[in-house]
Amino acid sequence: MQEERRLAVLRAIVEDYVATEEPVGSKALVERHGLGVSPATVRNDMAVLEDEGYITQPHTSAGRVPTDKGYRLFVDRLTTVKPMSVAEKRAVSTFLDGAVDLDDVVQRSVRVLSQLTRQVAVVQYPTLSRSTVRHVELVALAPRRLLAVLILSTGRVEQRLVDLEADLDDDVLADLRLRVNQTATGQVIAEAVTALRGLGEQPPTSPLAVYAAPVVDALADAMSDHRSDERIAVGGAANLARYGDSFDSAVRPLLEALEEHVVLLKLLGEATAGGMVTVRIGAEGPYEQLAATSVVATGYGPQDDALATLGVVGPTRMDYPGTMTAVRAVARYVSRILDEA
Amino acid sequence: MQEERRLAVLRAIVEDYVATEEPVGSKALVERHGLGVSPATVRNDMAVLEDEGYITQPHTSAGRVPTDKGYRLFVDRLTTVKPMSVAEKRAVSTFLDGAVDLDDVVQRSVRVLSQLTRQVAVVQYPTLSRSTVRHVELVALAPRRLLAVLILSTGRVEQRLVDLEADLDDDVLADLRLRVNQTATGQVIAEAVTALRGLGEQPPTSPLAVYAAPVVDALADAMSDHRSDERIAVGGAANLARYGDSFDSAVRPLLEALEEHVVLLKLLGEATAGGMVTVRIGAEGPYEQLAATSVVATGYGPQDDALATLGVVGPTRMDYPGTMTAVRAVARYVSRILDEA
DNA sequence: CATTGGCACTCACCACGACGGAGTGCCAGA
DNA sequence: TCTGGCACTCCGTCGTGGTGAGTGCCAATG
């Protein structure tokens, strides 16, 4: 019974603190939220909550502030799902529907997500590893040079220049193109790579011998290029300006992290499929520097097959329910769009 | 004679202020720089400089600070070219040489430029308008759907999905591919578009009629897509953290501008070819919000043919000589790399 | 036994005033 | 034309005291 009220108090503290950005005291609490008890009672509860490590006071005789542990409890047990307004929903769908290609989808997602949450948004480009090969095109550019274009099921296009050791013959090229496509098209990346390796090893007598190897190498390179796994779009950095206080301690490391895409990827973490939103609060993450920032992320991809991750990075003091629904919603819309394409 | 010394004083003020970030007084000036005169003399000079609008004092009885006009004079007449250290040069070249494609070149340029200048770096992707068509590839994806891939001389690849109203015939497709390439390859974008338009208007009797129009439309769209003109890479935002003071007034609008690529493009301005570095100081720019920021930019591209612009955005109080040489150097290296590709 | 009102206490925050010091402008002399 | 001297101006800092929000504890109450 009292336990329940204590949780209500914690929730109220979190909500107030997130809204006002100021330590919240017992009196203000009972006034703003309609808990039907006196400030003194709340004070007792707060003392217990503090003992248990859910809240702290910045200094004696100040209000209370939630700790990471407090936010954690709040997110895990006290969050009520906050549906998006119709206007917001429409905004998301119309904005994302206007996208013309994969790049554009990602860009727009970042934008919409950062505006929705008024936070820094991060969207990882769909990873290669899970996608399949839609088509491979080989284009002769010069007698001894061709361009290999790799088109993936996600709509991503990778291209590589290939230098050859013998002049190109159109027929051989056509043959090679045909074989490569027969081998790779429809395959998942990983399988396509191994299948192509086989193709690359032609008997020296075959007319394909001089061409196959470099082309296969280039394609395999493009497929296993980890650089493209690390591609990320970031947006809404201007929202960092709202931090105001705690600039050096919070914004600087975050700005640095935003440039280090590797760090960002680690922050976003594993893609979690199926509408599950992951929340990492403050020091739970691997970077001390970012002890004051939280990450709200989820996986996305066609058929809820988590190809990549998108999310939001912000101060631990953030509107978790709102952010979580926004992240979930955008992930869902993007997934649907990838489905259609 | 005195005129000369006055300029020396101005230069000293600018250099000191840039270094220390604090208003500089007459005494400190004569101590740090070896002008062989007394503080009183310097004071007289400063009074004149102030009358002429080159410097101000933030308040009575404080040191002097350069005005925009002062920086302007400094940049135009007092700047001594500061050569880059060998180490820096090598760093730039080795770092940029590792790039594997156009995207990578741009990304790396941004990075190197921001690290070199410890400022926010902005690099515009090479514009379509000046580049030529290297090759067009048409790939059948489904009976009524094909992918048009446009390869440009800069190495950029644009692709468009094309939906058709009749099933594809391989021969016709080959024919179309041939014709399109005959028409467009080697042409400058603008000419290619008009030439293709002609190709699009086939007599209804021609077997090409059903296909040509949508394909030509897609290609023309890709070529004149202004979205790709606006592509920009930004890096080094973490350097904004060094602003420290004047946060709201300077950093916030700048962060916002960095997200608005249109604004950034306008800031970078016209591409200036041939090693000319443009400097726009504070309120000289079109945005009141950015009155405290300067832009140092230059054009780049193969054969000094300015395809696009790159530069640096920072506080008016910045190390202009150093920044200018860094910008010039990076532009030169990038141009060379584009030349080779 | 949980809840409540009362009460003394603790600090952060703010306004105020004093003061030191860096820097200036001006003037008379070299 | 330059220099040394001098009075003056303010900014920034530091201590000081008052105010108020908030707390912890305790005794009383239902």
pLDDT, residue B229, reads 63
Tens of pLDDT, residues A241-287: 877 666 666 788 898 899 888 899 889 887 777 778 999 999 888 88
Note whether B7 contacts A: Cβ–Cβ < 8 A.
no
Note whether A259 contacts B: Cβ–Cβ < 8 A.
yes
Is B259's CB within 8 Å of A157's CB? no
Is residue A341's pLDDT more than 80? Answer: no
pLDDT, residue B248, reads 64
pLDDT, residue A246, reads 62
Is B247's CB within 8 Å of A241's CB? yes
Is B139's CB within 8 Å of A151's CB? yes
| Partner residue opposite A238 with nearest CB, options B139, B147, B252 | B252
Is residue B224's pLDDT more than 80? Answer: no
Chain B contact probe: residue of A114, A255, A256, A263 with most B CBs at under 10 A: A255
Q: Hey, is B300 helix, strand or coil?
A: strand
Tens of pLDDT, residues B306-335: 778 999 999 999 999 999 999 999 999 999
| Partner residue opposite A157 with nearest CB, options B157, B238, B240 | B157
Q: Percent of chain B at pLDDT above 70?
A: 95
Is residue A13's pLDDT more than 80? Answer: yes
The residue-averaged pLDDT of A45-50 equals: 95
B28: nearest Cα among B59, B54, B66, B62? B62
Chain B residues whose CB is inside 8 A of the A137 CB are 137, 139, 149
Is residue B89's pLDDT more than 90? Answer: yes
pLDDT, residue B44, reads 93
Token digits of residue B149: 């891939």
Note the Cα A173 to chain centre separation in Å.
40
A133: nearest Cα among A169, A183, A95? A183
Alpha carbon separation from B251 to A43, A131, A263, B244, B269 (Å, rounded): 41, 40, 24, 9, 21
Is residue B81's pLDDT more than 70? Answer: yes
Note whether B245 contacts A: Cβ–Cβ < 8 A.
no
Note whether A252 contacts B: Cβ–Cβ < 8 A.
yes
- Which of the nucleotides lies closest to B44 (Cα–C1')? C25
How many other CB atoms sit within 10 Å of the CB of residue A163? 10
Taking the C-alpha atoms of residue B300 and residue B327, their distance in angstroms, rounded to an integer, is: 10
Chain A residues whose CB is inside 8 A of the B252 CB are 238, 241
- Which of the nucleotides lies closest to A42 (Cα–C1')? C3
pLDDT, residue A244, reads 62
Beta-carbon contacts of residue B30 (< 8 Å; ≥ 6 apart): B37, B38, B39, B42
Chain B residues whose CB is inside 8 A of the A238 CB are 252, 255-256, 258-259
Is A141's CB within 8 Å of B135's CB? yes
Tally C-beta pairs within 8 A across A and B.
Answer: 70
Note whether A137 contacts B: Cβ–Cβ < 8 A.
yes
Spanning CA of A237 to C1' of D12, the rounded length in angstroms is 34
A151: nearest Cα among A190, A195, A181? A181
Tell which strand C nucleotides have any atom below 7 Å from a protein Cβ: 2-6, 9-12, 21-27
Is A240's CB within 8 Å of B256's CB? no
Residue type, B165: E
Chain B contact probe: residue of A120, A240, A246, A260 with most B CBs at under 10 A: A240
CA atoms within 13 A on the CB side of B110: 20
Q: B234 forms bridges with which residues in the sheet?
A: B122
Tens of pLDDT, residues A293-317: 999 999 998 776 777 899 999 999 9
Taking the C-alpha atoms of residue B263 and residue B259, their distance in angstroms, rounded to an integer, is: 8
φ/ψ (deg, to 5) at A122? -135, 125
